[in-house]
Chain A
Amino acid sequence: MGGSYRAELMKLIKRPAMWILAGVLFTLSQVFGYLIPYVAYRGGGGSGFAAGETTAQLLADILPARLVPNTLGGFPMFAGAIALIVGALVTASEYGWHTLKTILTQRARRLSVMIGKLGVIATALLVLVVAVFAANAFWSWVVAVVEGRPAVWPSALDLAQGIGAGWLVLTTWGFVGAVLGVAFRSTSLAVGLGLVWALAIETVIRGFAGVLGSLDALQRGLPGTNAGSLVASLGAPTLDQPGGTPGVTAVVTGTHAVVVLTTYLAGLALVAFLALQRQDVR
């Protein structure tokens, strides 16, 4: 089992597409989390930049004290989409390159192969979350120094909760991508349908949930809603609040979200394994 994990880790580290995705996530997080808000703050705030947000709030959001909510704001939707692509690439590419047969004709059990893949997705996303937090911490400190504000850092517990929540959100989306990759055996289909679900369908369901009771019950069980609610519970502003980000919502409590997302992780891992176990590999 450890061998499969080490093999997957090597494949992931040496794969250029993974570095491109990590670079995109990293860059988007810095640009939308710090650069644009700071430029807007220096320019006095644009009229349409963030409804109701004052320049003072713009600055407050990018100071160290707001590191956790400011970093997590983009996770439920944008970073989640990238995590989904990572998950789909890890599993679906094996079908495109027909490498699954090469792996399985060595001595690996299918369970070990899938545990290796999911383990590597979880590891890579944890590293990415920590790296984004570290980079954002650096920029928030730079802003504090440049603006002559005190650098008040979140407590270690808050930071750990933030990193844990970010990891849970991204890994859930990563596992969704992995399952779609195994189910469709095609990277393009897994990524395409996954993104349509994450970016469009969940948003539409949330939009109609207010007028249709059954959809409201449904949305409480969706990964996107729970991801958005989890980061909202840690202080990230919802879309209808000043500085809010798409995907952040406060439909369920943080505890509810953690339970649902953890259930998703376990369920998706089980589905991925069962799907691979039952497949004929051609």
Chain B
Amino acid sequence: MDVRRSRQGRLGGDASEMNDQAIQTKDLTKVYSQETRAVDRLNLSVRRGEVYGFLGANGAGKTTTLRMLLGLVRATSGMATVMGRSPGEPDSLRRVGAMVEEPAFYPYLSGRNNLRVLVRVAGLPESRIEPSLEVVDLLERADSRYTTYSQGMRQRLGIAAALLKDPDLLILDEPTNGLDPGGVAEIRSLIRRLGSEDRTVLLSSHMLGEVQQICDRVGVVAHGRMIAEGSVEELRGREAILVRAQPLAAARAKAERLFGAARVEVSDGTLRLQTAGRDAPRITRELVLAGVAVSEIRPLERTLEDVFLELTEEGANDGR
């Protein structure tokens, strides 16, 4: 599909649908060479106002996708809209703040002067610099040379640069890379704060803990393809309870009578029941009354990491 034609069609067509989508891609593809298909027919939709986690292993195609969304890299085929516009258009970028991969600044300039360069390029007033530095708590060292900054300060300056335009859409690529645990917590709370201000945030990361804590919805990409997309809860699946009991057959029969066979599974000598954790006392009582000895009963929680590993492993197998 021709990118330009698709974009024109898109912009002329479903404007109503675009209104609640900050980002939308359809079959977005980037081929660097015959062997390197970095992004492969990727369909991504980020709704306005949400914090969206873009997950994938290193080399999965996350950064290339973000570069396409920002107009830094041309798509080979497919279409994309960012804030209702073609990627990289000044009208689109006007409302987008971004930090892609590690922050990149002029080493011989101070943090403040680096931002001064950017406000000039963006046609913004210099008065935007102070609030941006303040948000990331960098005012004190703003006049030091960039080369003297720690990794955490560089990351924070990168976020300050992304905030200069007070953007409606914030795209952050691995913002906690190279940070110590304190720095990670700091950036996490900053992103949470930014996301709660009616702003759309696209957070690309492989730090699954932070994504689980911050994001409303997530998309998982592997080998350049979107392999799952939904809310964190949807991806983690329905709640379940693990029961270790003897005799197992009697326990299973009782559980099936209570919840239906479809929601009962035997695995590694235990029962896995698809039901909410609050049902645990009732299950214990029923099993005991049925003459079953219960030695363990606990809610089974799948973390986003479990889901991610499962999905990316499947993706890898599909890719082979």
- Chain A contacts to B: CB under 8 angstroms: 3-4, 6-7, 10-11, 14-16, 97-99, 101-109, 113, 280-282
Report Cα–Cα, A11/B98, bound state, in Å.
21
Report Cα–Cα, A228/B178, bound state, in Å.
53
Given A281-B72, A281-B73, A282-B67, A107 and B105 contact (CB-CB distance below 8 Å): no
Whether the Cβ atoms of A3 and B94 lie closer than 8 Å is no
Report Cα–Cα, A14/B101, bound state, in Å.
26
| Best-buried of B109, B121, B161 by chain A (most CB within 10 Å) | B121
Minimum CB–CB distance from B224 to chain A (whole Å) comes to 16
| Best-buried of B96, B103, B113, B120 by chain A (most CB within 10 Å) | B120
Whether the Cβ atoms of B106 and A281 lie closer than 8 Å is no
Contacts of A102 in B (CB 8 A): 103-105, 118, 161
Given A101-B104, A105-B93, A7 and B121 contact (CB-CB distance below 8 Å): yes
Report Cα–Cα, A10/B112, bound state, in Å.
12
Contacts of A16 in B (CB 8 A): 108
Cβ-closest 5 pairs across A and B:
A98-B104, A106-B122, A7-B120, A281-B72, A280-B73
Report Cα–Cα, A178/B68, bound state, in Å.
26
Minimum CB–CB distance from B132 to chain A (whole Å) comes to 13
Contacts of A106 in B (CB 8 A): 93, 118, 121-122, 164-165
Within B113-128, the residues touching A (CB, 8 Å) are: 113, 116-118, 120-123
Report Cα–Cα, A72/B15, bound state, in Å.
61
Minimum CB–CB distance from B244 to chain A (whole Å) comes to 52
Report Cα–Cα, A154/B88, bound state, in Å.
52
- Chain B contacts to A: CB under 8 angstroms: 67, 70-74, 88, 90, 93-94, 96, 98, 100-109, 113, 116-118, 120-123, 161, 164-165
With both beta carbons as reference points, the residue of chain A lying nearest to B91 in the complex is identified as A107
Known: A10-B120, A105-B100. 10 other contacts (CB 8 A): A3-B120, A3-B123, A16-B108, A97-B104, A98-B102, A102-B104, A103-B118, A104-B70, A104-B72, A107-B165
With both beta carbons as reference points, the residue of chain B lying nearest to A109 in the complex is identified as B90
Report Cα–Cα, A4/B100, bound state, in Å.
21
Whether the Cβ atoms of A4 and B120 lie closer than 8 Å is yes
Contacts of A99 in B (CB 8 A): 104-106
- The contact sample of 19 A-B pairs, CB cut-off 8 A, is A6-B120, A7-B121, A10-B113, A10-B117, A102-B104, A103-B117, A103-B118, A104-B71, A104-B72, A105-B70, A105-B93, A106-B122, A107-B93, A107-B122, A107-B123, A108-B122, A113-B121, A280-B73, A282-B67
Report Cα–Cα, A105/B164, bound state, in Å.
11
Whether the Cβ atoms of B105 and A97 lie closer than 8 Å is yes
Whether the Cβ atoms of A281 and B109 lie closer than 8 Å is no
Contacts of A15 in B (CB 8 A): 106, 108
Contacts of B122 in A (CB 8 A): 3, 106-108
Report Cα–Cα, A6/B71, bound state, in Å.
23
Contacts of B117 in A (CB 8 A): 7, 10-11, 103
Minimum CB–CB distance from B82 to chain A (whole Å) comes to 11
Report Cα–Cα, A11/B120, bound state, in Å.
11
With both beta carbons as reference points, the residue of chain B lying nearest to A5 in the complex is identified as B120
Whether the Cβ atoms of A105 and B72 lie closer than 8 Å is yes
Report Cα–Cα, A7/B93, bound state, in Å.
18
Contacts of A6 in B (CB 8 A): 120
With both beta carbons as reference points, the residue of chain A lying nearest to B110 in the complex is identified as A14
Whether the Cβ atoms of B105 and A105 lie closer than 8 Å is no
Whether the Cβ atoms of B90 and A107 lie closer than 8 Å is yes
